[in-house]
Structure 1
């Protein structure tokens, strides 16, 4: 009998010619696989010497009633309470309530791929992974271990995946551009982050498409999310070097606040001299002077949809997934030149 060192569930899936989910269902007695397919997968796993962690396998079979949540953008920041960023707090709080509605509990876990991680982390019923980066290592690890998961936002490296819920980020960006255009903006600078996730990618794609369609010049700038307000401030000389735009659309609230402060120091005030809008509502956008127009991503709705999808998957169902949640544009004084 051939044996393969350090064999993973992904290796078994590749050799059997099936998905990782199929291997997980075959080994755990779940799903709707035929008896023939289930037996074949088990034979491949036995031949290869695949053996999942006994504690994790036993606890997952017993459904311990706890799901995990990994907040990837905060892992990247190495700060789980960044000033002014309440989106993740709203999402996590609503997810906790939603899991209770399903008779479950929620546990927040730091980056699973970095470790050290308690063995209990791999014994949970499933995971919510927020804003994964392309080929996210946490998602890789969950797949290798056969642990069910749902992502909030798409993993750009897995275009065929269906187990995700996302805000309609391209539509939200277009709403903001339309609003700025209606207020007279014909030259809009767009500021995104550097994380390689679907939130940044979809907003940039929407911006470039909008510019091409309207004949506007495309001026897309990036600043690392972790720099916060200082990152926005540092971009202002670059913005002005290309000529003062009619409007600035910043994906993050902290960047937007830094841009607003640095332009004010130069005597440029919204909405008199330019319009300002932001891709996510935050404490900085609400308390700024003037308050900054922003997108409400509706994290409470996203949480309910994400939890419901994960619960269905952990119960052996095959839900549709790929759920898009519309966002809302909160118009404030920073973008109301005619208001």
Structure 2
């Protein structure tokens, strides 16, 4: 079905996805915003800045010219959420043919609008067919062919099987769903809770505390996610609970690392200035907090992480606020209140 794959984004996740999809022998072109990254990939068959030590096959090529990658019939979007609108606008200017398939692999919610990444893309590329991919997928492990799984979602049922084949390999299982909203919300919201989990690590709190936080995070993610249009079962699948677990517990998780540094006393601005890659939980926290307020959804963990990141509230004060909340039933389901 597909003849050429364009990966829009030359970071660690984009490079890992280029490696994964290249296994089917199709030409894969990575667009990197930084020309030096493209030169490095083409000269040494590796992305030494973002995914060092991983060799890329000969059918993977890189470019700093968006048109080269954007001319593919399968376009995979892996740019940071804050750059999605600008990149979508640039892609639209290239006038991709009607029916071009665009898969968003970026985990975020646009600040100000509350739009998911597929919705931002559809705004500029209404004649393209949209899909999403999300799950517990650490880029380095995928690149090393360590077994993993993910979920592909699309409202176009005829796309699911072809995309499932493209994104599947011996070590990577791709499942399918039509809950495009729920898949994206799980991937975006879990980054907020990973920051909170990292703060627990930075405080030196125990396993009991972290397990309790992650469990209550899943309840909050589900509550907010359903209100925003996702389905309950999706939040208990790979793109919800699965991604939440790996992001909150993995030493590789950028958002957990960010939170750990907060817990050790560093300021948000200092951490952001030191990062080479984006911690998506930082902008997503503000977006999700805005959505929760607009919808009237109780999201105390999101609210406290937002206060720490964007309002200067001390992390220990936020932890005390969460622990001091009034007692309540564990479940939000109506049957729990009967």
TM-score normalized by structure 1? 0.29
TM-score normalized by structure 2? 0.29
Whichever of the two has the greater Rg, that structure is 1
Higher helix share: 2
| Structure with the larger RCO, 1 or 2 (CA within 8 Å, 6+ apart) | 1
